[in-house]
């Protein structure tokens, strides 16, 4: 069992938890993910790592209620426990392999959409600890859905917030802010985008002419996290890849986003039906 050390609500339907998992915490790196299970018959839920503390022996996960499995995780409280926390899984971020000399030349721009801000945080934090320049764009529907803004400001050079309705930061999309920064002459060496699939698609279209390398994370495609189910198959540069074992991070210009979005929709009906049954069960105290 893996005790929940802390829990807090970041926004409506989005919860942060610190979970005691010493071995996982010691091995975790930015860009990787975990598999979480709440009970014996529970669904395997892949969640990207939001933070990790090897000394404390804890990992931090951020979960948004989108289906039955995530809803059950979010009902757990401090003092309760998760049955399984398996990981770290997936490939760590590529910049971890850069030398100190190469890192010193970098200026990263991270683009975080919605709950995608959570997996962006450990990457920005790691780069900050190496003395690397990092700017961050956080995008959300409205002010109430902006998460981890203060935490991100503590480890970034500049943080830009955009909201669809203009209730926080500037009104517009993350791509509007990206275009504005490039037009203002910002010189970035690498862009990393993590968020909804459609957001990453349009970031790729907006950034392509700049010639700046782009990395995206396809963590939202993953199901079982081992490559066995095949649910996260995606075409990257015309080759078939699996987000959970080959990624979750890939060259954003090479990803076939239209195919990836079609694959996402394949399980939507089953997800909605399962969540409906889950809510009925929880309301009945099951």
How does pLDDT run across 187-216, given as a tens digit for each residue?
999 999 999 999 999 999 999 999 999 999
- Separation of alpha carbons 133 and 126, rounded Å: 11
- Separation of alpha carbons 243 and 240, rounded Å: 10
- Does a cis peptide bond (omega within 30 degrees of 0) precede residue 143? no
CA-based nearest residue to 87, from 52, 116, 56, 117: 52
pTM score, two decimals? 0.89
Helices and strands counted in the chain (H then E): 10, 16
How does pLDDT run across 140-194, given as a tens digit for each residue?
999 999 999 999 999 999 999 999 999 999 999 999 999 999 999 999 999 999 9
CA-based nearest residue to 68, from 284, 274, 211, 209: 274
Do 172 and 103 contact (CB within 8 A), yes or no? no
pLDDT over 80 (residue 5): yes
Where would I find the H helices in the chain? 22-27, 68-75, 100-103, 117-129, 149-153, 174-183, 197-207, 243-246, 257-265, 268-283
Do 199 and 222 contact (CB within 8 A), yes or no? no
Q: Give me the residue spans of the domains in the chain.
A: 2-89, 94-217
Q: Match 């694959």 to its residue by tokens.
A: 263
How does pLDDT run across 100-146, given as a tens digit for each residue?
999 999 999 999 999 999 999 999 999 999 999 999 999 999 999 99
User: Cα-Cα-Cα-Cα dihedral of 282, 117, 149, 111, to 10°?
Assistant: -150
Which of the four CATH numbers 3.40.50.80, 3.60.20.10, 1.20.1090.10, 3.40.50.1970 does domain 94-217 have?
Answer: 3.40.50.80
CA-based nearest residue to 64, from 3, 135, 10: 10
Architecture of domain 2-89: Beta Barrel (2.40)
Q: Mention every residue, 6+ apart, whose C-beta is less than 8 A from residue 92.
A: 29, 30, 31, 32
Whether 2-89 and 94-217 share one fold: the answer is no
How does pLDDT run across 223-262, given as a tens digit for each residue?
777 777 778 889 999 999 998 889 899 999 999 999 988 8
């Amino acid at each position: 069992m893996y005790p929940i050390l802390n829990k807090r609500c970041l926004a409506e339907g989005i919860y942060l938890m610190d979970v005691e998992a010493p071995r996982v915490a010691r091995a975790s790196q930015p860009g990787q993910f975990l598999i979480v299970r709440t009970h014996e018959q529970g669904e395997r839920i892949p969640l990207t790592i939001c933070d990790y503390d090897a000394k404390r022996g804890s990992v931090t996960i951020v979960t948004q209620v989108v289906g039955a499995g995530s809803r059950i995780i979010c009902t757990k409280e401090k003092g309760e426990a998760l049955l399984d926390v398996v990981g770290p899984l997936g490939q760590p971020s590529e910049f971890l392999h850069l030398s100190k000399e190469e890192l010193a030349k970098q200026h990263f721009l991270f683009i975080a959409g919605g709950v995608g801000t959570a997996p962006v945080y450990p990457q920005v934090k790691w780069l900050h600890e190496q003395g690397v320049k990092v700017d961050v764009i956080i995008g959300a529907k409205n002010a109430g859905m902006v998460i981890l803004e203060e935490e991100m400001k503590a480890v970034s050079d500049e943080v830009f917030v955009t909201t669809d309705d203009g209730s926080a930061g500037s009104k517009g999309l993350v791509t509007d802010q990206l275009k504005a920064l490039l037009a203002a002459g910002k010189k970035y060496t690498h862009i990393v985008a993590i968020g909804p699939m459609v957001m990453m698609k349009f970031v790729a279209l907006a950034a392509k002419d700049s010639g700046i390398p782009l990395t995206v994370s396809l963590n939202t495609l993953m199901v079982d996290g081992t490559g066995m189910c095949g649910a996260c198959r995606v075409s990257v540069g015309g080759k078939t890849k699996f987000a959970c074992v080959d990624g979750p991070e890939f060259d954003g210009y090479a990803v076939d986003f239209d195919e990836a979005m079609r694959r996402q929709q394949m399980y939507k009906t089953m997800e909605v039906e399962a969540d409906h049954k889950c809510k009925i069960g929880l309301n009945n105290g099951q």
